[in-house]
Structure formats: structure tokens, C-alpha cells
Structure 1
């Protein structure tokens, strides 16, 4: 019997994949019901989600928006649903949302903090999205640290100009001295010149120019600041200033100069060993004791300084972790190229260390932004302090969840945005191959 073999001369046409393996059905089958254990967990999770939403959604949507007191809210609930249970009274938000956002800031000047926030977003754009935004906006980025305080507090235009001139004076002295002496002496001379300008000469310059050209806007006292506006103000300053200070502290901690190293170590360990609330009490109560008599040191400025120093200490340790993660070959490569210390840090070491540290840096940013709520303990009316004041009002005495749900939503929007941006930045800077 002969063996007859057959060889196919044409390829079979490509078949469509089974319907159970692609699309929504395929995703559900592979991710939610891939085994009996996953199936049980999926069903339990769906029940838990349904149980939570069944209670939360009616509370949010079957609610009262137009009421002037909690009692009025309850009367409307009884008339509409026959019960006050399971229904939110959003009338308090409708009645007090401007106060929760702006505190006691004069209502006819709300345009100033709103403009400051919009300019902040524009000023951050060339820093956060350098490949998508025109670099000309960096001019606004450089001006914004002087423009924002003027918009928020008001007063003469010459105060922020005088503050900016301090940097110009310091740079000028650094450039002139640098031609004669070493960079270290030039840096010390430049810093000293800026401090002399700010502490001694600035007030004379401001007063003289204000008398010649009185240009300014209405002044707003710090005690009028409050609400979520205050949280954003403190958070932006602490985040923006703590990063460069943290970088300097991290480099100082790794320095071969013993005095610099021990000063940085001492500062970092002391600040990290003390709760933030203690530092805020120091800023609020004790700092004035050590100031010269008659010195008026703004309470918000004191809180900004303490929160910035607190954040900088944690930032320094995060960045030091990034520096420690770099292989030794990166330092040796910088040396082999003939780069000096600062060139190596700027071009090779620090960009890689910051890239490694992005998750920790953003976590520190989010943490310090949420910690701004602690200022309510020292008498500043941030959004938490205002919530307590609103609940003390007889009209809204007894309201609770609605206020804190609104505050939680505000903080979630900001913190979630920072988290998403950090993920975008990590993807953008990813250079490894998977």
C-alpha cells in the first residue's frame, strides 16, 4: 500500500479571532473572570461599589441647593421626600462658596486673586510643558514671583520693583567681583549686596519713588486672606521655593566641606525631627520675641517661611536619594569630560537625579499642599477654619458633611492634577527600553 502525502499549495485565509477573546467581552473575560477566585472577587467588588453608590448618589443628587439655613433645608426635605435622612443640604455651599474660596478678601477685589491664579498657570506653562509652549512666556515666569505678591496684597508698584532690583544688584556685584577674585568670594559678595539692598536700602528707594510716582493699587491686609485662596497661596510659595533650597541642601549634605556638610545635616535633621504644627506655633507666637522692637513681620510671611523650610528639608532627602541612585560612572564620565563641579551637576548629575526623584518630589509637593490646612490651628482662616466658623453660625449650626465634602473635592482636584502631571513627566522622560 503506497503512502499518499498532500502538501497545501496556498495559505489559508486569516480567520477572525473568537468573539469571546476580543473587545469588551474579551477584556472582561481576561481581566475580571479569568479564574474562579477572580470571578468571586469581581462580584464582591461590584456589590461593594453598588452598595456605596446606592447611598452616596441619592445623598448628592436628591438634595437641597436653595436654602438660607439648615432648618429651612430640613423643611424642604420633609416636604419633598418625607424624610431628612439620606439627603444633602448643599444650600450652605450655595450660600457661602465665595467665602470658602476667598475668605474675607474684599469682594470688589476678587479679580486680583483670580488674575494671580490665571497668571500662575501661564507662568508655569513654559516650565511644565517646555516642548509645547513658546519660550517667550519665560519672561512672565521670571516676573511672576514679584507680580503675584503685589496683586494679592496691593500697595505701591515700587515694592516689587525694589525686590527685583535686589537680584540685579547681587548679580552685578557677583559679575564685577568675579573678574577680580574666585567664584566663591564673588558669590558671597553678591549675596551680601542683595541682603544689604533688601534690609537697608530698599525701603528708602521704595519711599522715594512712591513720592515721585505714586503708582499702586488698593492695599489688602493679611487678616483678610483666607479660604482655599490662602491654601493655594501658601502651597504655591512653599512648593516653588522649597525645590531649589532642597537641591542646595542635598548637594551641601554630600559636600566635602565639613562646615557646609554639618550645617546642612543639622538643619535637615532638626526640621525633619520637629512636627510642622510646632514650627507654625513658633512662627505665630515666638518669632516676634526674637525680632527687634517695633518690627511688623507679617503672619502669612512667617508661615510661608516655616512651611518652605519644612518642605525643603524633606525635599533635600528625596533629592539625595536620587543622587545616591546614580551609578559612580556618571560622576567619572563628567570628570573625564573636564567639567568642573557646577557644570557636572547642571549638565549631567542633577537632571538624572531629579528624573529619578520625580515620584518622591511630587509626593512631597502634595503633602505640603495638604498640610496648609494646619494653619487653621494658629488662627488663620483657611478653608478648614472657615468651615468651623460657618458651622458656628446659628443658621448652619449642625451642618457637617457637606462642607467637608466640598473642601475634599477642592483639594482632590489640585492634588490629583499634580499626580497626573508627574505621571506624564515620567513617561516623557522615559529613556529605557522595555
Structure 2
């Protein structure tokens, strides 16, 4: 009879060093094929050609103190005193200096509200959301303009004096808050079985998507007053806000419609089999799944809207870019590096805001991930 033998399994060997760690990451992401290797080398050469002189101009050789004379003595480097001395104007625009505290209060309330909504462990987030959506706009308008519904709370500051980054935030946030619900309504209307509703929604979406935003702003600024009754005036900023919101809502409607079409038909049939009505089915089952699917598209539309706020300059509204351009035209700062410094500053501000929105959207995507991500 054969003798039984006991076999002791050998311990698992570690994976090859070339497939894990930093070396493995390089092999799998940067040097996985000849084409990727060539692209990596070309990108490294381009970075070595671009990054060192950019850092030298922006940081190492830049001027940080003094006035225009100091910048004129070193015209081949960034002139940061131009930014620091004009920073209040870049934020407040042409707002009266004695009334700038009102902008500060509105900005602080906005920041606190947004932080409260973004931090999930804080209590009463639903009530804060309703406050920011329904009450805060009235408070902000009362603070910035001075009057609401004909009641004067503070000295009136005309919207023509608004400007800078505060105006950029007003236009962008108004467009974002209005375009999302409007886009959802028009997306649902475009898929409606009622011909009249579907025709109206399709006409609205295709009209606004087929017209450049510059044309929309010109129409809102120049043509709209011609159609108003005699003696009726409409604030230029409000006209621009309305045009931007309607323009963005058309694009948002198509983004949401893409999410609705991605939902399997079985979801709708299952909801109907439970006896759910149309609006309850949309609110509880269809829209949550559709909006989760198109989070990247929604945020992409928001980012595009935020950057498109610079176009209001053509109707004499001085947002951040417009105020910087006006400051560059100051003969006291007629230095070679001043325009470049101003545009770099604007680019950095917009990049920080857009990158922040992008990163938060990725966080929301990871949080709502349910195993269907590819």
C-alpha cells in the first residue's frame, strides 16, 4: 500500500516589481506601448520647454512690491503690484467704496450657505437649501441694489456700478440656479406625448441652441426694450441674466434628455405597474437615476456658463475680465508686463473656480456610484 504524503503549499510569491508600485504605474500608464512611449517623451520635452520659463516669469523673477516704476524697471516679469493695488476694484467693480460692506455681507452669506450645503454631516441642510433658493436671492438683491419690491432698505446702487468678480458670481449663480430646473422641465416636455407641449419645448430648445450667446446678449440689451410698452424700463443686468439663463437652460435640457433616454424602459413600466402617477414616478424613480447619470454633463454646462459670463462685456457690463481690461488701459500702468499679468490673474481665478466645480462633481459621482460605472 502506497504511503500517504503530506504536501505543504508554498507561500504566494509577490507580484513582479515591474507591475506594482511607481514603476508599475509608469509601465501601465505612460510606457504601455510604443505610441504611448513616444507621446510621453514628447510631453516631457514640451513641459521642460514651457514650465521653467513660465515659473520664472510668474514667480522667481516677478515684481512683488512697489508701483509701476518697479514694474517698468523689470518689464520682462510679472507685475503683481498691479494686482494687489487694484484687487478691491477687481472684486467690487465700480461699487461705491462706502457701500462695499453690503457686497461683503452678501458674499459671506453665500459662502456660509454653500459650505453648509456641501458638508453632509451638518444638520438642517434641507432648510438651508430652501433658504438659499427662495430667501437668499431677495436678501442679496436688497443688499446689492438697496431696494426690493419698491421698498428701499439701503441707498440705491445702480447695476451699472456693479462689476468685477462679484458681478461674475451674480451672473453665473443666477444662470446655474435657473437653468437646471428649467432644463429639466423642457427635457420632460420634449419627451411628452402631448403634441403642443412637445412642439413648444422642441422649438424653445432648438431656437436657443441655434443662436450664439453674443447675439442673445445683444438682443436682450438692444432689441428687447423696443418691444416693451412706452415708459416701461427693464434693468440691463436683469435682461442679461434672463438671456444667459434661457440660453443655458436649452443646453441643460439636452443634457437631461440624454440621461432620461439612458434609463431602461423597464423602470418606467415598473413604476406604472405600482400605480405611480407621472410626476411621482419622475420625482422618485426616473429623474434621480437620470440626473445621476449625467452629472458630468451638468457640471460641464455649469463650467461653460461660468466662463461665458465674460461675454457680458460687449453690453457694457464689466465682469472680472472687463474690470481687468479697464484697469490695464490706465496710463499710469503702461508697462509691458501689466496686460499679461492681468490676464494671468483672470485665468487663475477662473481655473480655480472651474476646477473646484469639477472636483466636487467627481466627489458626487463617487458617492452616488452604484456599481454601473465602467
TM more than 0.5: yes
Change (3 A) 1:151 1:30: same
CA contact (8 A) 2:263 2:290 kept: yes
- Matching residue of 1:196: none
User: For residues 88 and 3 of structure 2, what CA distance do their matches in structure 1 show?
Assistant: 86
- Matching residue of 2:205: 268
Q: Counterparts of 1:157-196 in structure 2 under 5 Å?
A: 159=148
User: For residues 112 and 5 of structure 1, what CA distance do their matches in structure 2 show?
Assistant: 93
Name the stretch that deviates more: 258-267 or 134-143.
Answer: 134-143
Q: Counterparts of 1:262-341 in structure 2 under 5 Å?
A: 262-341=199-278
CA contact (8 A) 2:117 2:128 kept: no
1:360-387 per-residue CA deviation (whole Å, 9 max, x = no partner) reads 1111111111110001111111122222
1:49-74 per-residue CA deviation (whole Å, 9 max, x = no partner) reads 122111101101211122332x5412
Change (3 A) 1:144 1:41: same
- Matching residue of 1:108: 98
CA contact (8 A) 1:66 1:94 kept: no
- Matching residue of 1:146: 138
Q: Counterparts of 1:190-269 in structure 2 under 5 Å?
A: 206=151, 216-269=153-206
**SS where residue 133 of structure 1 aligns?**
coil
User: For residues 353 and 40 of structure 1, what CA distance do their matches in structure 2 show?
Assistant: 40
User: For residues 350 and 241 of structure 1, what CA distance do their matches in structure 2 show?
Assistant: 17
Aligned: 1:414 with 2:353: yes
Change (3 A) 1:38 1:348: closer
User: How far did residue 423 of structure 1 move?
Assistant: 1.1
**SS where residue 294 of structure 2 aligns?**
helix
Change (3 A) 1:409 1:74: same
After TM superposition, the score normalised by the length of structure 1 is: 0.77
Gaps of 5+ in 2: none
- Matching residue of 2:49: 51
User: How far did residue 272 of structure 1 move?
Assistant: 1.0
1:307-336 per-residue CA deviation (whole Å, 9 max, x = no partner) reads 000011111111111111111111111110
User: For residues 66 and 141 of structure 2, what CA distance do their matches in structure 1 show?
Assistant: 37
- Matching residue of 1:60: 58
Change (3 A) 1:47 1:292: same
How many equivalent residue pairs?
A: 366
**SS where residue 400 of structure 1 aligns?**
helix
- Matching residue of 1:393: 330
Kindly report the root-mean-square deviation, in angstroms, between the aligned alpha carbons of the 2 structures. 2.5
CA contact (8 A) 2:183 2:249 kept: yes
- Matching residue of 1:194: none
Larger radius of gyration: 1
CA contact (8 A) 1:334 1:348 kept: yes
**SS where residue 105 of structure 1 aligns?**
coil
User: How far did residue 293 of structure 1 move?
Assistant: 2.1
User: For residues 184 and 204 of structure 2, what CA distance do their matches in structure 1 show?
Assistant: 14
CA contact (8 A) 2:175 2:241 kept: yes
User: For residues 147 and 138 of structure 1, what CA distance do their matches in structure 2 show?
Assistant: 15
- Matching residue of 1:118: 108
